[in-house]
Amino acid sequence: MKAKERKKLCIVMMGLPARGKSTHAGKILENLSKENLNVEVFNNGDLRRKYIKENTSSYEFYDPDNIVSARIREEIASINVLSAKEYLNGKGDIAIIDAANVSRNRRRSIIEELSDYNILFI
């Protein structure tokens, strides 16, 4: 009899900026990696800093009325979710999406995109 294959997992961090999400994501990665699981963190901030050269830490960039910035933030979030999905479709056992994910729309889109996987919101 074949051993039951476990379903892959996506851990989605949630919370306001500077509240320890990345620290916790790193600790989760560290501890699960010790169990010989393939775990990777997908951080929206890292991706944003990689692709956008101007300063994105200003209030204006996060102003909900700034349609251009909102579109950029959603695009980055989408790229990160798709990267996590690709990882889970391949060698990954657990993907950790490290971002604020505070809006219902963002969480709903994550659930829809990753519906083939178990999802744990923290």
Q: Domain map of the chain by residue range?
A: 9-121
Report pLDDT digits (tens) over 63-73. Answer: 889 999 999 99
Strand partners, 95: 10, 40
pLDDT for position 90 = 96
pLDDT for position 5 = 61
pLDDT for position 2 = 47
In 3D space, the residue among 48, 120, 58 whose CA is nearest the CA of residue 80 turns out to be 48
Report pLDDT digits (tens) over 72-106. Answer: 999 999 999 999 999 999 999 999 999 999 889 99
Whole-structure pTM value: 0.89
CATH number 3.40.50.300 is the correct assignment for the domain at 9-121: yes
